[in-house]
Amino acid sequence: MIYLVLFWEYFKVGLFTIGGGYAMLPLVTQIVTKHNWLTEQQLIDFIGVAESTPGPFAINLATFVGNTVGSATSLGVFGGILGSLIATFAVVLPSLVIIIVVTLLFDKFRSNRYVRGALKGIRPVVVGLILSAVFTVAAKVILPEFDFKHIRADGVSQFNWISLIIICVFAPLSQIRIQGKKIHPICLILLSAVIGIVLFGAFRLQQ
Amino acid sequence: MKQNKQQRNNDRRVSLWQLFWTLFKTGLFTFGGGYAMISILEEELVSKKKWMTSQDMLDMLVIAESTPGVIAVNTATSVGFRMRGVLGAVVATIGVVLPSFVIITALSYFIQAFADNLWYKAAFTGVQACVTILVVNAFVKMFRQLERGWFSALLTVAAFDIALFTDFNVIFLILIGGIFGILYVVIADAVIAKRNKSLPLEQSEIIEEQPRDNDERTDGSSHNGGDR
């Protein structure tokens, strides 16, 4: 039964990857090619879509893989929906159980000296990880060819100056207070989509 | 807005529907990895609804980051569980996942047309720039929650460098951070114990209290002097 295989494989993905959606990618690639669910090219094509559509990257990917696997069965469209439901559920299930248990333990032991000590060390690490995400995301936007892990001279060959301008406009915009309230991040995202269409659209039409 | 406020005043308990709706919005406007959602969650949960503090938020991120699974889902589950127990965890998780599910299922039938659409690409390039700022803001907010001092600063910089420039596994970074934290506490305890050992207990107490004694004495003497 292909749905059981799908469930089991995605359950393992959810259980064994630490560090978020992008850390799942190698395991997903391996599974998908092992079962011949998708070709590697199909997967690479979809990664671009999964990044640019709303929702966490890994969930988008799981939904897509599940849909493709399910659609290939005799159930057709219904099978596709069933497949994406199963893959998403499977990847989320370990989180659900683990987080509940860890949160309970955390609340119970948070006053313990050593747990507090460990947290004192882990909190800065997590903040450091967020800072590294800042640089990764910024580089992806401004210098699409640049890779911090393999720095090469041609990494700066492409420079996206329109993105840089948008960043420079949104940095102060996100701090402005109107009647004591900051602009909601969701409004900022919607606004940035409009600006993107206007600027890049105009730029592309000109070319 | 007004209704929300009234509800909060009447009943501190968050309704399951509110929980679902908040996480649904968050899921809908999360792009890429989980970090972009921190800003939205901060705004919704800490600034607007005041369901938790920024410190709680950082601790939730610590849990989300150091356990298996998608960070966005881990965070959502954590929020839901804190607010409304197991049922809350389930509802929050469904909320954050549902937008992905609906959008990707709908899109999967014409993915190629979508991937090649220039207008969508243009919009998304704008969104990506905005997301960069949101991640920066999330970093600033979370950085402010750290204890001040060389220990935090050093670990933040080290973790940042290693995560950015190497392929070093994140979970080992977190483990090492935890070990350093425990070592810090153990060493701090040892130092304090040693200091207390080298001085007899009464003496150390006297030293601590000496300034106050002196004050009283000078007060007293000046007072006496005035009397004379």
Average pLDDT, chain B: 81
Do B70 and A92 count as a contact with CB atoms less than 8 A apart?
yes
Structure confidence at residue B199 (pLDDT): 66
Q: Encode pLDDT of B66-79 as tens digits.
A: 888 888 899 999 99
- B143–A185 CB contact, under 8 Å: no
Dist. CA A174–CA A169, nearest whole Å: 9
Average of per-residue pLDDT across A162-189: 85
- Among B11-25, B51-65, B191-205, the range of highest mean pLDDT: B51-65
What ipTM did this prediction achieve?
0.86
| A148 contacts B164? CB cut-off 8 A | yes
Confidence of residue B223 (pLDDT cuts 50, 70, 90): very low
If you count residue pairs, one on A and one on B, with CB atoms under 8 Å apart, how many are there? Answer: 376
Q: Do B108 and A133 touch (CB under 8 A)?
A: no
Tell me if A121 and B181 make a contact (CB, 8 A cut-off): yes
Q: Which residues of A touch B180 (CB under 8 A)?
A: 121
Q: Who wins on pLDDT, A112 or A22?
A: A112
Chain A residue closest in CA terms to B90: A96
Interface probe, candidates B127, B152, B171, chain A, greatest A C-beta count within 10 A: B127
Of the residues A49, A65, A130, the best mutation for testing chain B's interface (the one with the most B CB atoms within 10 Å of its CB) is A130
A76 has pLDDT over 90: no
A21, A121, A164: residue with CB nearest B70 = A21
Which residues of chain B lie closer than 8 angstroms to A53, CB-CB?
Answer: 31, 100, 103-104, 107
Boundaries of every domain in chain A = 2-100, 160-206
pLDDT at A87: 93
Nearest to A64 by CA among B36, B109, B128, B37: B109
Residues from chain A that touch B108, judged by Cβ atoms under 8 A, are 64, 67-68, 71, 80
CB contact under 8 A, B122 and A121: no
Asked whether B103 and A64 are in contact (CB, 8 A), the reply is: no
Q: Which amino acid, one-letter code, is at B152?
A: S
B146 and A124 within 8 Å at the Cβ level: the answer is yes
What is the three-state SS of chain B? CHHHHHHHHHCCCCCHHHHHHHHHHHHHCCCCCCCHHHHHHHHHHHHHCCCCCHHHHHHHHHHHHHCECCHHHHHHHHHHHHHHHHHHHHHHHHHHHHHHHHHHHHHHHHHHHHHHCHHHHHHHHHHHHHHHHHHHHHHHHHHHCCCCCHHHHHHHHHHHHHHHHCCCCHHHHHHHHHHHHHHHHHHHHHHHHHHHHHCCHHHHHHHHHHHHHHHHHHHHHHHHHHHC
Residue B87 to chain A, least CA–CA distance (Å):
11
Q: Which of the pair, B55 or B5, is modelled with greater confidence?
A: B55
Query: CB–CB of A134 and B132 under 8 A?
Result: yes
- For B155-213, what is each residue's pLDDT tens digit? 999 999 998 888 888 888 999 999 999 999 999 989 998 888 876 655 544 444 444 44
* Alpha carbon of B127: minimum distance to chain A alpha carbons (Å): 5
Q: What is the pLDDT of residue B78?
A: 92
Note the pLDDT of residue B170: 83
List CB contacts (< 8 A) between B173 and chain A: 125, 128-129
User: Are A17 and B126 in contact (CB < 8 Å)?
Assistant: no
- The answer to whether the CB atoms of B70 and A56 lie below 8 A apart is yes
Choose among A18, A148, A196: nearest Cβ to B171.
A18
Minimum distance, in Å, between the CA of residue A29 and any CA atom of chain B: 16
Q: What pLDDT does B214 receive?
A: 43
Does residue B217 register a pLDDT over 50? no
Contacts of A26 in chain B (CB under 8 A): none
Angle subtended by helix axes B71-107 and B16-28, to nearest 10: 70
Does the beta-carbon distance from B136 to A134 stay under 8 Å? Answer: yes
Nearest to B66 among A113, A122, A141 (CB): A122
Task: List, in sequence order, every residue forming a beta bridge with A178; answer none if it has no partner.
Answer: A181
Structure tokens that stand for B3 in this block: 């209704």
Tell me whether residues A140 and B128 touch, CB distance under 8 A.
yes
> How far does the CA of residue A78 sit from the closest CA of chain B (Å)?
11
Of the pLDDT bands very low, low, confident and very high (cuts 50, 70, 90), residue B226 is: very low
Put simply, the answer to whether A120 touches B137 (Cβ < 8 Å) is no
Contact of B196 with A128, CB cutoff 8 Å: no
pLDDT confidence band for B227 (50 / 70 / 90): very low
